[in-house]
Structure 1
Amino acid sequence: MEEKFAYIEGAEQPIAMHPKKFSLWLFMVTVVMIFAGLTSAYIVRQSEGNWLEFDLPAVFYYTSGIIIISSIFLHWAYLSAKKDNLMQLRIGMVIASVLGLAFLVGQWYSFVALVDMDVYLVGNPSGSFLYIFTGLHALHLVSGVIFLIIVLISSFRYKVHSQSMVSMEMCVTYWHFLGALWLYLFTFMLLNH
């Protein structure tokens, strides 16, 4: 009988993930698939010819810097939450949220700049793809900013701390993912416009 218990105690624990985190990872995989398909379609369509060449709006450089800085502040907030430094957590969350909103404003100005350059959603496929890339990313970023604000509010309600990190970890994962996705798209557009 003792051998039986010894065997059960020695059994390996299965790898477990919080169900909400698992759902987030599945969602991010689908987003990657969508953008992989779009970038593939871009390359195929570009090779067919009739492709308008134009410079990317300068605001894309600024928004790239904004999203990197926001990720740095969000990560600082995450590390502060792990140490139960609630003041730094809140400061980091506020700055990351404001920078997230600034990124969205920058994306709006990129659309204005494209119109000023006579690049429209309807017309040449190169402009259409650019609007789709940036617009679809901005749509996902809206959900990221909402997530940031939810976690920010939770931090003021003392619901984010070292013993309650699930929402914070998910927010950081998603925001870093959105930042990396933007940097990929921006680099792709720079190399293939």
Structure 2
Amino acid sequence: MARRDGPDGPGARKVGLWVFMAVVTSLFMLFSVAYVMRMATADWQPLRYIPWQLWLSTAVLALASAAWELARRAAQQGRARMADWTDSADIERGPRAGAAGDGAARRAGLLACALSLAFLAVQLWAWQAMTAMNVTVNGNPASSFFYLLTGLHGLHVCGGLVAAVLAGVSARRGKAAFATFAAHAALCARYWHFLLLLWLGLFALLFLVTPDLVQVVCESVGIRPPQAR
């Protein structure tokens, strides 16, 4: 009889992650709608300056996402070799191949975590650059949204880092532990891909979406655009 996946099994974690990402997406969509609606107010001043640090942080987050993908693939390959351990004609080669995949996956995971920390540091650097340009939290509605949305995204990156570290610590060496780590690496890769897509959407919203663009889009789909007041 096949073993059913319990509440703490890989299947339950996958479903939980999908539900969590759906909730986070809904949250940011609500903030995005509020951002667009706020453009119609008379005190709206769009963000005209994009600090180069934000381009750097975008590249760093993309590298972190890629590193988690490498960790996922290495863990998947190592897990497959571990599974074939007993079927291997060379009893010594199976464990060595699995251990190599384990090490590669963990190194890629550590690199991804380091890059994520670098992303957060560069985001703080970008905040300093924006403040130096007199773009402050209470300066105008657009700047307030900038700090709110980028800060909220950064909190979700921090949460992902905590979960990744706890998962790495709980999955020690060994065949069964590596299978658990492989499942965790797959979840981390999916979450970091989500964080990257979310950040790209926020970047476009903050610096590319303008009141004129909103009006054109609304008119093209037959929706009444927000009116200035």
Aligned amino acid, residue 180 of structure 1: L
Normalised by the length of structure 1, the TM-score is 0.84
Matched, 1:37 2:30: yes
Aligned amino acid, residue 149 of structure 1: V
Of 81, 92, 102, the residue aligned with 1:86 is 102
> 1-side partners of 2:187 and 2:14: how far apart?
6
Of 65, 68, 71, the residue aligned with 2:65 is 71
Aligned amino acid, residue 168 of structure 2: L
- Contact conserved, 1:81 with 1:89, CA < 8 A, in 2? yes
- Contact conserved, 1:70 with 1:100, CA < 8 A, in 2? yes
The Cα shift of 1:117 comes to: 0.9
> 2-side partners of 1:160 and 1:59: how far apart?
39
Normalised by the length of structure 2, the TM-score is 0.71
Q: 1:176 to 1:52 in 2, by over 3 A?
A: same
Please state whether the residue corresponding to 2:208 is helix, strand or coil: helix
Identity of aligned residues (%): 30
In structure 2, the residue matched to 1:5 is none
> 2-side partners of 1:47 and 1:157: how far apart?
57
The Cα shift of 1:161 comes to: 3.1
- Structure 1 runs (4+) deviating above 4 angstroms are none
| Deviation by residue 1:7-62 (Cα, 9 ceiling, x = unmatched) | xxxxxxxxxx8222212211111110111111111111112232223312211100
Aligned amino acid, residue 131 of structure 2: V
In structure 2, the residue matched to 1:181 is 198
The Cα shift of 1:160 comes to: 5.2
- Contact conserved, 1:89 with 1:155, CA < 8 A, in 2? no
Matched, 1:109 2:125: yes
Aligned amino acid, residue 67 of structure 1: L
Matched, 1:56 2:50: yes
Q: 1:80 to 1:191 in 2, by over 3 A?
A: same
How does 1:118-137 map onto structure 2 within 5 Å? 118-137=134-153
> 1-side partners of 2:142 and 2:193: how far apart?
27
Please state whether the residue corresponding to 1:18 is helix, strand or coil: helix
> 2-side partners of 1:58 and 1:152: how far apart?
33
Q: 1:160 to 1:128 in 2, by over 3 A?
A: farther
> 2-side partners of 1:107 and 1:140: how far apart?
13
Matched, 1:25 2:42: no
The Cα shift of 1:116 comes to: 0.6
> 1-side partners of 2:158 and 2:69: how far apart?
19
Q: Which runs of 5+ in 2 are unaligned?
A: 1-9, 79-100, 211-229
> 2-side partners of 1:27 and 1:103: how far apart?
22
In structure 1, the residue matched to 2:178 is 161
The Cα shift of 1:130 comes to: 0.3
Aligned amino acid, residue 52 of structure 1: Q
Please state whether the residue corresponding to 1:192 is helix, strand or coil: coil
Between 87-96 and 159-168, report the one with greater CA deviation: 159-168
> 1-side partners of 2:168 and 2:55: how far apart?
27
Q: Which runs of 5+ in 1 are unaligned?
A: 1-16
The Cα shift of 1:123 comes to: 2.9
